[in-house]
Chains A and B, each alone.
Chain A
Amino acid sequence: MMSAREREQSTRAELVETIFEKSKPGRRAAVLPPAEVPEPPLDELIPADLLRAEPPRLPEVAEPEIVRHYNRLSRRNFDLDTGFYPLGSCTMKHNPRLNERVAALPGHARLHPAQDPKRAQGALELMWLLQESLAEICGLPHVSLQPSAGSHGELAGLLLTRAFHADRGEARTKVLAPDTSHGTNPASVTMAGYEIVKVATDERGGVEMDDLRAKVDDEVACLMLTNPNTLGLFDENIAEMAALIHAVGGTLYYDGANLNAVMGQSRPGDMGFDIVHVNLHKSFSQPHGGGGPGAGPIAVSERIEPFLPRPQVVRRESGNGSGPSYDLDHERPRSIGRLRGFQGNFGVFVRSYAYILSLGADGLAEASETAVLNANYLKARLAEGRAGKYTPVAFDRHCMHEFVLSGKPMKRDLGIATLDLAKRLLDFGFHPPTVYFPLLVEEALMIEPTETETKESLDAFADAIEQILTEAETEPEKAKNAPYTTPVRRLDEVKATRKPVVRQPLG
């Protein structure tokens, strides 16, 4: 929350200038090393018609100005290191700075991906150890670290499914997913060449089993689930769901976005899942970076293993007493192939492996236990007072690591929508929860506190909600026109979309 003076200052013209607008011909930051070699005109080395006539109009700014520009820009962001960020489905847990330190070690950071595996044994061993750790956490024996994000893992899982069926001479057409599924699930289904079929949710918040039974047939390649689901509820019918899809020869896919609820408590492999993706930027503390980088490694069962992407990190026993060695295995005849360049987001692996080492078996179980405790506590706080009245929980049972409220009574009785509540929360110094997802719940608010919040932090959030709803009882316009104290107020998204301006025009 900014003071009036801070806000006043933050809107001064120079602060909203782009780096291009700060450019002045002749200024520069870079001093390059001298050539040391002969310097013929470029057109003696490269035909003139392949050369660029005018350099790109990058800004001309000196270093102090660049630093000042981006520092000021950074202060126009709210971030997790600064405040509570209960964005449901994203697991905004603390990002340990130890992980940044080890990722920056030159042995990791300045290692070329095409370095001979013989000379990258530390990196390959780290990847192998991470694979083994994720295999244990997921309860599935074989892991590929290649996918770059959860969506990428989903695509991989669906392509693995396709290869699995093709190997059996089958070509299936449909994938089932609950109507509460994250948008990436159906988007991945289409990219993998399948048709999405939605399965309904029952009044307890789990998959509607009759609907599922009616829709499972031998045209179904895969059932995509997350457990707990996006309502934060563990679906106890999972064993039957697994049996149903396996009985028709389909695969069961786990979207690992909600793994934070069950690490060390229950394992997707034991629930019957064939393929799991893990979001390292969620449960395994990789910083979110304003929208990445992350990573989406996949763990699979024995029968899916032959189709894993290539290359795969493997460990070989030496047999001559000199210890194991690690390698990139490209000889995988039934592999679906590559999903991306080189080996994956190794820098993310370093951080996540450091996190797993730091927490260990005991710490990982404690993390999920505390995540579930924190979520249920906050849910209990928000069941009291005006929150309980105007934004009741959508499904009245114990949640796991997240829960969903509905702003429908608030909209009906106070005339403010979930969007307005979210915008008013900005003035109180909180990042709002995820809003309007899942689609199943009207005026949804999805809240995931994570295990790294203190009780005081949760209480402060609950108190803020109470305050906003109290204010809305008499002055609903305050929320409708919020926020007031942020660097900008509500933005005209209609204008931005009708006539998109997606770059700085340069004269």
Chain B
Amino acid sequence: MTRYTSATPDDRAEMLAAIGVESTADLFAQIPEPLRLGRPLALPAGMSEAEVYERLAALAARNADCEEQVCFLGAGMYDHYVPAIVDAITQRSEFLTPYTPYQPEISQGGLQAMFEFQTAMSELTALPVSNAGLYEGPSSVASAAYLALGASKGRRRIVVSRGVHPHSRETLATYSQGFGAEVEEVGLDGGVTDAAALARAVDGETAAVFLQSPNFLGAIEDVEALGGAAEEHGALLIVAVDPMTLGVLRPPGEQGADIALGEGQPLGNRLDFGGPSFGFFCGSEELIRKMPGRIAGETDDADGRRGFVLTLQTREQHIRREKATHNICTAQALNALAATIHLAWLGREGFRELGELLVRRTAYARERLAAAPGVELLYEAPVAREFALRLDAPVDRVLDRCAERGIAAGYPLGREYPEYEDGLLVAITERRTKAQIDDFAEVLGAAISAEMVAAS
């Protein structure tokens, strides 16, 4: 016995006798000899819990996390304050350790939690149907394209704005190698989607148009106006949104979107170096039978009690197999629960107030930073919680200098947007105080100046 198992020598003897073999080697005899490993794995021997803790702590210590550096990084994942009750509840055995609710009679906790999550996301996006979650934002975009192709009777074109997160566009390109979409990108103008270019790109062969608002650069898009092109040609309008802004920004369901989806991490989930989080996926009533993922539904039991079950399971892989709407099985249920708890904690008023706080702090930060020497706004378009700057010095060098002063200054745009090589994306959360913002403005200005001196 090494860890977590209980089979004592006596247990083993009794079990082997009951099975009718001499040793466990007899049970492994079904593996042909040449395929037996025949040696220990080339891994270290097992360690005590204390030693494992030390190892993991040592690794953690070599990461510049948000307690060590003031974090202005965003790009889809944000350093929000997650209330303590989220962990207290999601760490409960009853939520942490079961699997998917295949036996609803003993899974009412999980199923009702899904139902509440679906209700919350439907409210946020103003679309009537939500699933119980997908993996994260970018793969949800790809999954929506799969739905659109399946629903559009032969259309193969997907039009996507360059305002959509680069990871989403890249993931869409990867998945398209499989399901055969032809993806066309439409550029930005003044920080937002070029409306004329979009109108030119959409035609009668377009299955879906993808927008993001606020877009990757932080600018708020006029989804309703842009969506006209999709409507005109009978294409689905699919909008990726930052859920934390939906307390104050007009929701996609009120702007003509057929599907609203996105990265759920800001709701209730840690940064965790990028995962696990969840993707949300909401749509119109007509699309319910084409939606991917689990969906919880309300019903009654044999005695007339209210209860919840997984519904519309014939969409899913365990029944529909090769004709399923998606291949997803294990999703991100615990992360969706975390989101629901966070939203309940914020509540109707708190969620709106938080949105207002984000917008105002962001406006302040944008003004302060743009006033720093060597800094300009990349565009003037309105923003909610994130914005892009142009720097007069190499962005990577500036980031290093800011890091030395304890600040993670933001996301360099150059790799994914070569046209904005000197661009920096700055994100604001409610944890970024006025003092931190003021300090950042000073540090950023100093860093750029130092770089300009070094270069001259």
Contact = CB atoms under 8 A, between A and B. Distances in A.
B441 interface: no
Contact of B119 (A20, A119, A434, A451): A20
A269 B405 CA distance: 48
A343 B75 CA distance: 13
A98 B53 contact: yes
B30 A400 contact: yes
Interface in B50-82: 51-53, 55-67, 69, 71, 73, 75-77, 79
B271 A377 contact: no
B56 A105 contact: yes
> Among A37, A264, A361, A489, which residue has the most Cβ atoms of chain B within 10 A?
A37
> Among B12, B34, B105, B295, which residue has the most Cβ atoms of chain A within 10 A?
B105
B199 interface: no
B299 A59 contact: no
A437 B135 contact: no
A164 B57 CA distance: 40
A350 B52 CA distance: 11
Interface in A63-84: 63, 66-67, 69-71, 73-82
B105 A490 contact: yes
B439 to A, nearest CB: 13
B286 interface: no
Contacts of B62: 107, 121-122, 125
B115 A293 contact: no
Contacts of A377: 15, 18-19
Contacts of A434: 102
B332 interface: yes
B168 to A, nearest CB: 7
A56 B98 CA distance: 31
Interface string B73-109: 1011101000101011101111111111111111111
B348 A112 contact: no
Contact of B104 (A79, A155, A233, A491): A491
B177 A159 contact: yes
Interface in A174-208: 182-184, 186-193, 196
A399 to B, nearest CB: 8
A504 interface: yes
B212 interface: no
B371 to A, nearest CB: 14
B267 to A, nearest CB: 11
B47 A59 contact: no
Contacts of A61: 344, 347
B345 A30 contact: yes
Given A290-B100, A489-B302, A162 B178 contact: yes
A50 to B, nearest CB: 5
Contact of B430 (A33, A111, A123, A502): A33
B423 interface: no
Interface in A448-500: 451-455, 481, 483, 486-493, 495-497, 500
B215 interface: no
Given A163-B177, A492-B300, A497-B311, A51 B250 contact: yes
Given A77-B109, A148-B276, A55 B317 contact: no
B40 A362 contact: yes
Q: Chain A, interface size: which category?
A: 35 or more
Contact of A116 (B101, B274, B321, B399): B399
A137 interface: yes
B246 A56 contact: yes
B120 interface: yes
Contact of A264 (B41, B175, B306, B331): B41
A358 interface: yes
Given A149-B330, A239-B34, A291-B333, A42 B356 contact: yes
B343 A115 contact: no
A350 to B, nearest CB: 7
A78 B98 contact: yes
A491 B301 contact: yes
Nearest to B245: A52
Contacts of A369: 24, 28
Nearest to B96: A287
A372 B109 CA distance: 32
A158 B356 contact: no
A333 B353 CA distance: 46
A440 interface: no
Interface in B140-177: 146, 165, 167-168, 170-171, 173-175, 177
Interface stretch (A11-19, A212-220, A386-394, A407-415): A11-19
Interface residues of B, number: 210
B312 interface: yes
A58 B317 contact: no
A360 B171 contact: no
Given A341-B76, A503-B128, A372 B28 contact: yes
B80 to A, nearest CB: 11
A6 B63 CA distance: 48
A102 B61 CA distance: 12
A434 B312 CA distance: 19
B178 A193 contact: yes
Contacts of B47: 357-358, 360
B323 A77 contact: no
Given A18-B116, A377-B18, A377-B19, A183 B319 contact: yes
> Among A133, A182, A265, which residue has the most Cβ atoms of chain B within 10 A?
A265
B273 to A, nearest CB: 4
A211 interface: no
B43 A114 contact: no
B344 A489 contact: no
Contacts of A341: 76-77, 136-139, 165, 167-168, 171, 263, 274-275
Nearest to B322: A186
B432 to A, nearest CB: 10
A58 B348 contact: yes
Contacts of A80: 93, 97-98
Given A108-B63, A496-B309, A66 B341 contact: yes
Nearest to A27: B347
Nearest to A280: B330
A308 B29 CA distance: 35
Interface string A265-283: 1110011000000010100
B305 interface: yes
Interface stretch (B202-210, B228-236, B360-368, B442-450): B360-368
Contacts of B345: 29-30, 63, 66
Contact of B301 (A73, A270, A488): A488
B66 A270 contact: no
Given A236-B31, A422-B103, A340 B136 contact: yes
Contacts of A35: 357, 360-361
Interface string A344-363: 11111010011011111111
B275 A346 contact: yes
Given A45-B359, A66-B85, A58 B43 contact: no
B327 A154 contact: yes
Contacts of A353: 56
Interface string B1-25: 1111111000110111011110010
B391 interface: no
B284 interface: no
B249 interface: yes
Given A184-B327, A361-B42, 16 more contacts: A59-B344, A73-B113, A95-B96, A113-B77, A115-B63, A290-B101, A337-B170, A340-B138, A346-B274, A347-B270, A363-B3, A367-B5, A373-B7, A431-B106, A452-B6, A502-B295
> Nearest 6 pairs between A and B by C-beta?
A107-B60, A342-B274, A113-B274, A360-B46, A289-B334, A291-B333
25 contacts: A30-B350, A37-B434, A39-B360, A46-B248, A51-B250, A58-B344, A108-B59, A108-B272, A109-B270, A111-B64, A112-B77, A122-B58, A155-B327, A159-B177, A191-B327, A294-B330, A338-B170, A341-B167, A346-B272, A363-B2, A367-B4, A372-B24, A491-B104, A497-B312, A501-B297
